[in-house]
A = this chain, B = another copy of it.
Amino acid sequence: MSKQQAQILYNQIKLDIQENKLPIGQALKQEMLSQRYNISRIPIRDVLQRLKNEGWLTTCGKRGVMIPMLNATEAEDLYLMRKYLEPLILEYAIPNINQQVIGKATDYLHIIDSQEELSIEEHGELNWQFHSCLYEQANRPTLFSTIASLHQLCGRYIGYHNQQLNYLKTSQQDHYNILKAIENKNTEHAKNLLETHISDAGKTLVRFLLAESKNEN
């Protein structure tokens, strides 16, 4: 289970970034992290590199990495890409979505509905489970992994504001509508609903980030 050690570390650091438990905007010292997580620098380096490649960290000066500040332009880009790519993969998926898949997706929505005490991370995770169980039917690994990566990065922004949690809750009806359109094999309608769904979420988020940056000044 040695590989899992690094895997746990990866998840832990990512969570700590998401929950703002690590300093933003300044260089992260390997030694410091090594002590904090009680592990040698080698796995730390591995994880830092991985997170850097995934966009959770950016280079800080000539050497080292740092946690980038939340940025409205980045958020807008992420949702913009999702808006274009997710309807695309859904189109490939729809012909392969049978009733079993519909059922599985419905179950995820029911879980979201039933559980009142979901943390924002849990909610985001269930949200992704719903979307991905549809997308994976497309059998498009490359397209899928790009979309999955964009989702992951959005997670950092979703975790930031409770307002986003409210949005997630109100958008549940969208999910049911999308599922209904898929069940009816109404591909164009499903794509349009999904595009609007993503676009709206993006707009809500960007509005918040802009408002916040105004407050800081």
Contacts and interface: CB of A to CB of B under 8 A. Distances in A.
Interface in A113-168: 139-143, 145-146, 150
A54 B53 contact: yes
How many copies are assembled? 2
A140 B42 CA distance: 33
B45 A142 contact: no
Contact of A45 (B46, B55, B145): B46
Given A42-B42, A45-B46, A143 B53 contact: no
Contacts of A78: 142
Interface stretch (A24-32, A81-89, A204-212): A81-89
A169 interface: no
Interface of A: 3, 42, 45-46, 49-50, 53-55, 63, 73-74, 77-78, 80-81, 84-85, 88, 139-143, 145-146, 150
Given A42-B42, A45-B46, 18 more contacts: A46-B49, A49-B49, A50-B53, A53-B53, A53-B54, A55-B145, A73-B140, A73-B142, A77-B140, A77-B142, A77-B143, A78-B142, A80-B88, A80-B143, A81-B146, A84-B84, A84-B85, A84-B88
